[in-house]
Structure 1
Amino acid sequence: MTTSTTTTRAAVSMNELVKVYGTGDTAVRALDRVSVTFGAGEFTAIMGPSGSGKSTLMHCAAGLDTVSSGTVAIGSTQITGMSDKALTRLRRERVGFVFQSFNLLPTLTAAQNIRLPLELAGRRADRQWYDTVIDVLGIRSRLEHFPAQLSGGQQQRVACARALLPRPDVIFADEPTGNLDSRSGAEVLGFLRDSVRELGQTVVMVTHDPNAASYADRVVLLADGRLAGDLPDPTADGVLDALRRLSEPAPTRRG
């Protein structure tokens, strides 16, 4: 078993995680006994070749997908085996999400989209925290605009504000710059990094882009559903080299 841990308090921890899709001859083992911890107050990127299991790992960590065996905990709360209702409540109260496709409701203004998770949970926004998030993201002048009136970068900033407002234990970001141009992508990545350093947020991001991963404090590498490396203080070149090594065929031995 390969284990990857950090020395800080755990925001998310997974132990001996196995995820199998299908049965019998068609079964696919997407995750194979993965044990990994994401530290609180850290920005972690998950990377690996296509089909390595990185999105599956994030979905299991966030309680969006069930596991075949093993355990997942958010903070000290074991989520493995929770009912759908309990998982929905936990995600609403303690987990934030930023997706590639923004997932904003087109009939709501930016401000209404941002407040929606709290309203669904029956909670009121802390006005000081709301102002801090809005100003850090630089979207105050866009709050009364509808998503169709915003650029892709502005929509993703709104999505980031929506994820941050409830002060979740962790934000999961799934290819958050996938639909953005390079400038807008860099702005969103810079904000996610600043939310960790300045606001104390925990961010776990799935990405295929070595440059995006270089914004993180740490990169966790997957290959064939297993942990394949752990890079602290990553650089784009270092991540690219690590990915290249993962993609190289194993050397054959001569008898």
Structure 2
Amino acid sequence: MNGTSVAARAEEVWKVYGSEEARVVALRGVSASFGRGRFTAIMGPSGSGKSTLMHCLAGLDTVTRGTVHIGDTEVTGLGDKALTRLRRDRVGFIFQQFNLLPTLTAAENIRLPMDIAGRKPDPQWWDTVIETVGLKDRLGHRPSQLSGGQQQRVACARALVSRPDVIFADEPTGNLDSKSGAEILSFLRASVREHGQTIVMVTHDPVAASYTDRVVFLADGAIVAELDDPTPETVLEAMKSGEVLV
């Protein structure tokens, strides 16, 4: 994969918390590339380092050693202001908790990061995003008037509307029932397939992983396996084969 086709990459990334007896090695020399226009899942047991890797890639956490790039920009070398700008302008986030402001309407929540940045969404792209996530008749509603699935759709639209280089999704269906979860995963899949978005998703769910193009498996802070074109069955099989056990 050449440099221009990589949306995010980690090179020999180590993340160590604490020292001496309290020392915890969360990532051990992880190297991984995430291609543009691809949907990648990061999986592994609890404590395997999957969320730590995502947070390091997204510039939400610092690395102890190694380098992280978003596109051609080395994240590990940025100061606070440049890092804030990078996260605001080039990275989208979807979390398990929807992180919506209760006093704002769905439309205002979607626009909020762009409003803060002093940018206006492209009208045509706005319409495409709203259509993709099926929120046209809910834009004037506040979060309390929306179901969990609808709130997560608002969060997805908020991440998509600024057309970031890469979206990081941390267990985005973790608080949803299976029907709402499937809808969210279908929206994310469509945004990759039809609109060229890049998504890196942490999940523990083989069904969620089956919506992606590729799965990267972590165990004890290291990548232990990868799987292309996953199905729920092949993901389960990989999870059961020794090192990847959840």
**TM bucket, shorter chain:** over 0.9
Counterpart pick for 1:195 among 175, 191, 205: 191
Counterpart pick for 2:208 among 180, 205, 212: 212
Secondary structure of the structure 1 residue equivalent to 2:55: helix
After superposition, residues 62-77 of structure 1 pair within 5 angstroms as 62-77=58-73
On the 8 A contact 2:224/2:244 being kept in 1, the answer is no
- Residue 7 of structure 1 deviates from its aligned partner by 9.4
Q: Distance in 2 between matches of 1:248 and 1:226?
A: 11
Q: How many corresponding residue pairs?
A: 245
Deviations 1:52-79, CA, capped at 9 Å, x for gaps: 1000000000000000000000000001
Q: In structure 1, what is the equivalent of residue 169 of structure 2?
A: 173
**What RMSD in Å do the two structures reach over aligned CA positions?**
1.4
After superposition, residues 146-185 of structure 1 pair within 5 angstroms as 146-185=142-181
Q: Please tell me the residue identity of whatever aligns with 1:49.
A: P
Q: Moved runs in structure 1, 4+ residues, more than 3 A?
A: 5-8, 246-249
Secondary structure of the structure 1 residue equivalent to 2:82: helix
Counterpart pick for 1:118 among 84, 99, 114: 114
Structure 2: 5+ residue runs without aligned partners?
none
Q: In structure 2, what is the equivalent of residue 47 of structure 1?
A: 43
Q: In structure 2, what is the equivalent of residue 252 of structure 1?
A: none
Q: In structure 1, what is the equivalent of residue 21 of structure 2?
A: 25
Q: Distance in 1 between matches of 2:16 and 2:218?
A: 16
Deviations 1:116-163, CA, capped at 9 Å, x for gaps: 011111101111100110011110100000001000000000000000
On the 8 A contact 2:6/2:71 being kept in 1, the answer is yes
On the 8 A contact 2:224/2:243 being kept in 1, the answer is no
Larger Rg over CA atoms? 1
On the 8 A contact 1:8/1:39 being kept in 2, the answer is no
- Residue 246 of structure 1 deviates from its aligned partner by 3.6
On the 8 A contact 1:48/1:208 being kept in 2, the answer is yes
Counterpart pick for 2:239 among 222, 243, 248: 243
Counterpart pick for 2:53 among 47, 57, 60: 57
Q: Percent identity?
A: 67
Structure 1: 5+ residue runs without aligned partners?
250-255
On the 8 A contact 1:223/1:246 being kept in 2, the answer is no
Q: Please tell me the residue identity of whatever aligns with 1:152.
A: G
Q: Distance in 1 between matches of 2:225 and 2:26?
A: 17
Q: Distance in 2 between matches of 1:246 and 1:152?
A: 36
- Residue 16 of structure 1 deviates from its aligned partner by 0.3
Q: Distance in 2 between matches of 1:142 and 1:246?
A: 46
- Residue 81 of structure 1 deviates from its aligned partner by 2.6
Secondary structure of the structure 1 residue equivalent to 2:168: strand
Counterpart pick for 1:134 among 122, 130, 133: 130
On the 8 A contact 1:33/1:226 being kept in 2, the answer is yes
Deviations 1:79-123, CA, capped at 9 Å, x for gaps: 103112211110000000000011000010000000001111110
Q: In structure 1, what is the equivalent of residue 33 of structure 2?
A: 37
